[in-house]
Amino acid sequence: MKKLTMIATAAMAFSLFASATLSNPAAAAAKTSADFTDLSNTDAALKAKIDAMLVEGIFDGVSDNSFGINQNMTRAQFAKVATLIYDIKVDPTVKVSSFSDVHANDAANGWAIPYIEAAKKAGLIDGVTDTTFVPGDSVTTGQLDTLLLKGLGKKVSTTGSPWYSDAVKQASDLGIHPAGKTGEQLAIRADLVQSSYTAQQAFDKQNLVSITKAAAASDTKSVQVTLNRSVDTTKATLVLKNGTTVVPTKAVWSTDAQSVTLTADLALAAGDYTVTLGGLDASAIQTGTASFKVAAAPSDSGNISIVGTYTLAAVLDSGLTAAATGSNGLADKATAEDPTLSKFAKEIEIKVKDASGDTVAVPGIIQSIHSSDPSIVKTGLNATTHRGYVLGNKVGTADVSVLVQIGNGDAKQLHVTVTVTKDSITAKEIKAGTTTIDKTLALVGSNYETTFDAYTAMDLSITDNYGITYKNSEIPKYNFALGTLFITNDVKGNAADGAVGTVTVTDGSVHVVGNVTYFELTAVTASGQKVTSYVNLKH
C-alpha cells in the first residue's frame, strides 16, 4: 500500500520544485530533517514523521536548508496533500483547470492543476465559488479537518455554529485536529505534517485488504471470492485448498478488481475448503483467508424446493421481441424469444438442503420443465446443464412444473406459479463499475484518435423493473427495451494545442478526434436514470 503523507512546500518553493516532483516524485528523497536548519529544535517525534515523508520523495523544503515548518499552507498545496495521503489517482498530463483562476502558466500554482482536478473529482475539495479556487489562499484548521475527514469516508455537518464545529469534534476524536487551535485559525506546515500523517495512518488501516466472502457456486466447479477493496490483479494470488490439498483453479477477476471467480477443472468434492490471498505486501492484508464447506449432496430428492417468486413481462405478445432485429448490435428475434438464451427469461432456482438443514451447492438437477399454458409462459431446458427457464408470452398466470432428480435418487415434482404482467420493461437502476477511464490517443493520419466501447469501458450494469440485470455487452443487445443512450459533457483539451477536438458516440461506440484531454461520459436510460464516468486521455 502506498505510504504517502503530504507535500509541504510554500508557493515560491513549488515554482522551483514542482516540475521535478511531478515527473519524478522520488527526486528529493535524499534529504532528511537534519538537512534543514529550522528543524534543529524540533522534537524527535515530529522529525520522524517529516523523515518518513521525505523518504517517499514527496515532501521538500522551502529552500535548500529551510523546511518552513511555521509557514502557512496554501489551498493548492493542500489539494496535493489530499491526493497523496488518500491514494487518489492523478493524471499529470492534465494542464487545464475547471477553475477560471488556476492557469498552467502561473509559476506559483500552475503545477497543482492535476492535483486540484483529482481532489475535486474525488469530492474532497471544492472551489471558493463554482468557478474560482483561489489556490494561493491559506488553509484554516477547520478546512484541514473537513477535508481529511472526507478522505476517511466520514460525513461532516457544516450546519452548526460555527460551521466547522462538527469537523473539529470528529477530527479531535481521531487525533487529527491540530492541538490547541480553533477551527478558524490558519494551519501551518507543522499542523499539516501532524494531521496528515495521522490521517494517512488511519486511511491505511481502514483500507487493508480482506477477503469478505468465499462460497462455492451452485455448479460446484467455481468459487466466488469477494474482497473489501480493489487490489492489483497482476500481483494478487488466490490458493484454494480442500483440507491440505491444493485444488488447481483458473482465476478471472471482475473489472473493479474486488472479486474473483476461481474455476476448477472438475466439480469440487465434499469437504472443508479455504481460500488464501497472497502476492501482495503482507502489511497490506488484514484478513487473507476465508473458509467454506461443500457438503455431500443428499441421497434422495426429499429436501428440494424452488426459490422465490417469478414475475415476467409479456415480451412476445406485446410485440417487444419484434424489435430484436439482430442488426446494429441488437439480439436477434430467435434469441430474444428462446427461454434458455433470452435475457428477458428467468432461471428457475432450486435449493437443496442436507439432513442438517444446510444449503448444499449442487450442479443442475432439472430433468424436465413444463408450463400449464405455454401461450402465457414459455419454458426451456438446457439439456447439458440441467437448468430450467421461463419466459413471459402474454398476460396471465401459469403453473410451471419442474422434475428434479439427484443422482440415482427418486425424482420429485416441484411446482411454481409464474405471473406475466402488461408492465413494459424499464430500467430501474443503472451503475458504472468504472468511473474513471484512462485512454491513449494514437496518431491516425494527421489527427490523434481513439475509439472504445462505452458499455464495457464504463462497466455498465442495468437492472430492470423485473429484477433482471444486464451487464456490459448484454445492454446493447437488449437496448430496444432498455433505451440507453450516451451524452458527453465538459470536453477539454490542452490550451497550448489550439482548438478542442471532438467526441462522438454512436450505438455506444465512442470516437475521439484531435485535442481532447478530458470529458464526461454519461449513460442515460429511457426512464431517466443516469450515471457518469470521467475520461482522461493522453497521447
User: Which DSSP letter does residue 248 get?
Assistant: -
Phi/psi of residue 492, nearest 5 degrees? -125, 155
Of the chain, the percentage scoring pLDDT greater than 70 comes to: 91
Which of these ranges, 215-224, 446-455, 527-536, has the smallest mean pLDDT? 215-224
Residue type present at position 223: V
Looking at per-residue confidence, does 344 or 90 come out higher?
A: 344
Looking at per-residue confidence, does 14 or 394 come out higher?
A: 394
Mean local confidence (pLDDT), 448-452: 95
User: Cβ neighbours of residue 358 under 8 Å, at least 6 residues apart?
Assistant: 293, 295
Mean local confidence (pLDDT), 357-374: 85
Provide the mean pLDDT of the chain: 88
In this model, does residue 1 exceed pLDDT 50? no
* Radius of gyration from C-alpha coordinates of the chain: 29
476: number of CA atoms within 13 Å, CB side? 16
pLDDT of residue 390: 98
In this model, does residue 58 exceed pLDDT 70? no
Q: d(Cα 81, Cα 187) in Å, to the nearest integer? A: 13
In this model, does residue 427 exceed pLDDT 60? yes
Provide the CA 466 distance to its chain's centre, in angstroms: 25
In this model, does residue 29 exceed pLDDT 60? no
User: Cβ neighbours of residue 80 under 8 Å, at least 6 residues apart?
Assistant: 7, 112, 115
Integer CA distances (angstroms), 202 to 53, 57, 133, 149, 356, in order: 16, 21, 28, 10, 43
Mean local confidence (pLDDT), 57-61: 71
pLDDT of residue 30: 60
Concatenating the DSSP letter of every residue in 188-212 gives BHHHHHHHHHHHHHHHHHHT-EEEE
- Helix H segments across 122-267? 141-151, 165-174, 189-206
Provide the CA 231 distance to its chain's centre, in angstroms: 11
Residue type present at position 368: S
pLDDT tens-digit series, residues 200-230:
888 887 778 999 999 988 667 889 999 988 8
Number of neighbouring beta carbons within 10 Å of residue 528: 9
With bands split at pLDDT 50, 70 and 90, how would you rate the model's confidence at 239? very high
Looking at per-residue confidence, does 103 or 205 come out higher?
A: 103
In this model, does residue 65 exceed pLDDT 80? yes
With bands split at pLDDT 50, 70 and 90, how would you rate the model's confidence at 27? very low
Name beta bridge partners: 534: 436, 520
Q: d(Cα 373, Cα 364) in Å, to the nearest integer? A: 24
pLDDT of residue 346: 97
User: Which DSSP letter does residue 99 get?
Assistant: S
Residue type present at position 195: S
Mean local confidence (pLDDT), 263-285: 89
Residue-wise over 29-64: b if at least 16 C-beta within 10 A, else e? bebebeebebbeebeeebbebbebbbebbbbbbbbe
With bands split at pLDDT 50, 70 and 90, how would you rate the model's confidence at 31? confident
**Which residue shows C-alpha cell 446493447?**
476
**Which residue shows C-alpha cell 477530527?**
171
DSSP H or E stretch at residue 146: helix 141-151
In this model, does residue 12 exceed pLDDT 90? no
Query: Hey, is 174 helix, strand or coil?
Result: helix
